[in-house]
Structure formats: structure tokens, C-alpha cells
A and B are shown apart, each in its own frame.
Chain A
Amino acid sequence: DQQVKQNSPSLSVQEGRISILNCDYTNSMFDYFLWYKKYPAEGPTFLISISSIKDKNEDGRFTVFLNKSAKHLSLHIVPSQPGDSAVYFCAARGSTLGRLYFGRGTQLTVWP
């Protein structure tokens, strides 16, 4: 039951350009959406979140957009830096205390 989907397994972007990572979900009852970043041999680290009642949240170079009617969210990274190269997971929070549903992740590679 894949309720959160990241259909692009990988994305390659030149340094300084914009990276756009996409995520789709099926359950309209999710109340928060979160993005995590993961480096090899480390645990995922929280990056940014957005409430289901908002359509945009910005934190420095990272902006998350939420389109509830399309059940779609995206993470924009501007400008992209080589240190941003990592796997990015989209997650959605369900009604059970703390329950997060994760996408499969997108490997972002930022090349100089």
C-alpha cells in the first residue's frame, strides 16, 4: 500500500541550478508532509515540512510546495550545491500518533 510515491529514482543537476524533487500521495487525510535527506551510511535527517493547510513553506535554499487538489508536493533547492547530493525522501504523516509514510526516495546528484 504505497501511499506516498516518488516516481523519479534519480535526478542530476548542475551546481547553481534549481533542483526539483517531486512526490505524490493518495491519502487526503495526511496532515503534514516532510522531506528528509539521507547520506550513505547515515540515518535520514529532517529537512523541511509543510502543513496540509499551507501551500508553501520556505527555509533558506529549500522551498516545499503543496498542491492538495493534485495530491502532489515538490521540494525546490535553489541554488543547488554539490553538498546537496544525497537521497531525498518524501514523507506524509497519518492519523496514528507519529505514523509517517515514506516514499522510496530520489537520488539527487549535483555536479560542478
Chain B
Amino acid sequence: DTAVSQTPKYLVTQMGNDKSIKCEQNLGHDTMYWYKQDSKKFLKIMFSYNNKELIINETVPNRFSPKSPDKAHLNLHINSLELGDSAVYFCASSQESILAGEQFFGPGTRLTVL
């Protein structure tokens, strides 16, 4: 049973298109996140939701819009894709009542914009 799953694993698309990445966690966690790992390998947080409420919203273009229909899902929609959006996107979840609040990551979605 996969704890944090993402679909699709690979996404190749043209500039200007709109695409979505889906994330689901079956751990019963109350917080979910989206991270971007760029070509320099930095893992940077983009958004986090706690009980469906937006908590962290980093300086990302407003072409990126997260949507949390329920606690177990956090989807990422990207409008008007640009070449610079090419990266690996990771979804993660955590339970904030756990002391260190360690986050569990999905396998990643490699987005390539042509």
C-alpha cells in the first residue's frame, strides 16, 4: 500500500498548456505539501495545507494553484506552462501532532515542458 502517491509520474507537455498533478495520502495525516526540485537539486517548498486550509504559500507564480478537496488529497494545477517549470514535483504529508513532524514524500512527478 503506497502511503503518498502521485500521478502522473512523468509529464511531457508543450509550452502554454495547462496541466494538473494529483496527490493522495492514505496515512491519515492532516498536512500536505508541494515541493519543487529544480535542476540544481534544491528541494523548495511551494505550498502546504493543514486540514484543507492554506498555510504556506511561497513566492510562486500565480499560474500555480493548489487545490485540496479533502485532507487526503492535494492537487497542483499549472496554467500556461513555461520552460522554467520543468522540474520534479514532490508531494508530501505529515501529522503535526508528531514531535518532529517528519514528512512522508511521494515518488515525484517529472515535468518536462518543451
Contacts and interface: CB of A to CB of B under 8 A. Distances in A.
A99 B33 CA distance: 9
Contact of A41 (B40, B41, B44, B107): B107
A34 B45 contact: no
> In the complex, which of the residues B4, B31, B44, B92 has the most CB atoms of chain A within 10 Å of its own CB atom?
B92
Contact of B101 (A36, A45, A87, A93): A93
B20 interface: no
B34 interface: no
A49 B102 contact: yes
A32 B103 CA distance: 12
B40 to A, nearest CB: 7
B66 interface: no
A44 B105 contact: yes
B24 to A, nearest CB: 14
Q: How large is the interface on B (under 10, 10 to 19, 20 to 34, 35 or more residues)?
A: 20 to 34
B108 A41 contact: yes
A49 B44 CA distance: 19
Interface residues of A, number: 22
Interface in B42-58: 42-45, 48, 50, 55-56
> Interface majority SS on A: helix, strand, loop or mixed?
strand
Contacts of B50: 97-98
Nearest to A99: B56
B100 A98 contact: no
Contact of A43 (B41, B56, B90, B102): B90
A49 B106 CA distance: 19
A36 B101 CA distance: 13
25 contacts: A34-B100, A42-B107, A43-B90, A43-B92, A43-B107, A43-B108, A44-B43, A44-B105, A46-B102, A49-B100, A93-B100, A93-B101, A96-B56, A97-B50, A97-B55, A98-B33, A98-B94, A98-B96, A98-B101, A99-B48, A100-B103, A102-B44, A104-B41, A104-B42, A105-B41
Interface of B: 4, 31, 33, 40-45, 48, 50, 55-56, 90, 92, 94, 96, 99-108
